[in-house]
Copies of this chain bind each other. A is one copy, B any other.
């Protein structure tokens, strides 16, 4: 164990640069035994980490040398893109072998994003009952509680005692790998409460389960979205929660480790979407990455051209005073920044359900006030800069006014746009950025050049 602690202190995850180098050397030398010696002691998540770190060519070589090393647990841990690539390269028998030891919810995670041919190939190698479970899960909507629940449930009738429960669990029934609660059900298999294993273990055998249940009890519906489930786990500090079907019957359980993964995925989606990177991971190829980012740059191009058209309205003004061309990007840039600040706070607050119908108007008012105050501060600063730099006092005044206007608009747009998008059923993280910076660019150039034309020339 000492090594583990030592290792841990060296790096949070058990993969060091020298380990990756060692594996690559062994692969180059075709030394399967050495590869196995290095990789076998690692946690599947760490092996996946090594596979993700190396280049596509090195990956193919590694898999060639390390035949049979790939198993379902490593596949579960891999990035989607690499996982598809590897699954494609496996023969049906290898695939069957890889999937044999996985629990049904892990199999679902693995196959749900495969293309149909691959999905069919995997389903074909599953045994009868497991195949039924996986197909049933795949019938639920994408990103739903039904897709992500475990169907192995430890449940007990509500009238059972601690002793009966322990005896039942010792009777050699098939128990899930991880479980933290026993779910109490009524005769119609509707979940009514749950007891933690800690309470069960520390109570006398004669205690009734219903007397040692947790006070707080949350049930999810198979159709609840994964995002709602993840945020509810975080909000209520849940450890596991039963999932029911349309008839309120217990059909599965979601545990906190799954919820944590879902929450992490939600975050990744939000942060990447805010930056105009819809999806994708570090291991995607150059072409894939180019294709993923192109549409967002295209949207940005359209909004940039829109801003340019605003500028072109003022060509005569600019010809009259070239200083305007020098200073105009400052107003737009400050507006864009302030808008992004408001926008990001709003998107995050919507994700955590802190921004709701109850406070949206107060938040909008507040963001505009913040814009006004920061606008005034930077108006004074920029007014001085404009005056000192170009020696024209009125240029400073125009710059200052445009700054105030644009920062107030940034506060308004930064909050209104994501709220409006969400009400229209669009993910606010996805499209807000382009809208908000279009508004601040257009308003910024218009205010600055318009005021300049009016007040200076």
Closest to A2 in B: B248
Q: Does A130 contact B (CB under 8 A)?
A: no
Q: Does A270 contact B (CB under 8 A)?
A: yes
Count the copies.
2
Q: Does A421 contact B (CB under 8 A)?
A: no
User: Are B1 and A297 closer than 8 Å at their CB atoms?
Assistant: no
Known: A341-B276, A345-B272. A329 touches B329 (CB 8 A): yes
Q: A139 — which chain B residues lie within 8 A by C-beta?
A: none
Contact of A286 among B9, B305, B366 (CB under 8 A): B366
Closest to A225 in B: B12
A257 to chain B, nearest CB (A): 5
User: Are A1 and B191 closer than 8 Å at their CB atoms?
Assistant: yes
SS of A interface (majority)? helix
Q: A166 — which chain B residues lie within 8 A by C-beta?
A: 201
CA A237 to CA B45, docked complex, whole Å: 9
User: Are A43 and B8 closer than 8 Å at their CB atoms?
Assistant: no
**Which residues of A (202-223) have their CB < 8 Å from a CB of B?**
202-204, 216-221
Q: Does A234 contact B (CB under 8 A)?
A: yes
Closest to A330 in B: B304
Q: Does A412 contact B (CB under 8 A)?
A: no
Interface string of A1-25 (1 = CB under 8 A from B): 1101100110011010100110000
Contact of A53 among B224, B356, B377 (CB under 8 A): B356
CA A221 to CA B304, docked complex, whole Å: 51
Q: A119 — which chain B residues lie within 8 A by C-beta?
A: none
Q: Choose, from A26-34, A60-68, A173-181, the stretch at the interface.
A: A173-181
User: Are A297 and B358 closer than 8 Å at their CB atoms?
Assistant: no
User: Are A272 and B370 closer than 8 Å at their CB atoms?
Assistant: no
A277 to chain B, nearest CB (A): 5
Q: A231 — which chain B residues lie within 8 A by C-beta?
A: 12-13
User: Are B272 and A271 closer than 8 Å at their CB atoms?
Assistant: no
Closest to A313 in B: B326
Query: Residues on A close to B: CB < 8 A?
Result: 1-2, 4-5, 8-9, 12-13, 15, 17, 20-21, 43, 45, 49, 52-55, 154, 166, 169-170, 175-176, 178-180, 190-193, 196-198, 200-204, 216-221, 224, 228, 231-237, 239, 244, 248, 256-257, 259-261, 263-264, 267-268, 270-272, 274-277, 280-282, 286-287, 289-290, 293-294, 296-298, 300-301, 303-305, 307-308, 311-312, 315, 318-319, 322-330, 332-334, 337-338, 340-341, 343-345, 348-349, 353-359, 362-363, 366, 369-370, 373-374, 377-378, 381-382, 385, 437, 441, 445
User: Are A198 and B216 closer than 8 Å at their CB atoms?
Assistant: no
CA A445 to CA B332, docked complex, whole Å: 15
A172 to chain B, nearest CB (A): 9
CA A341 to CA B217, docked complex, whole Å: 41
User: Are A344 and B282 closer than 8 Å at their CB atoms?
Assistant: no
Q: A244 — which chain B residues lie within 8 A by C-beta?
A: 5
CA A178 to CA B290, docked complex, whole Å: 47
Closest to A5 in B: B219
Q: Closest 8 CB pairs between A and B?
A: A275-B344, A197-B197, A325-B325, A12-B228, A267-B267, A304-B333, A169-B202, A304-B330
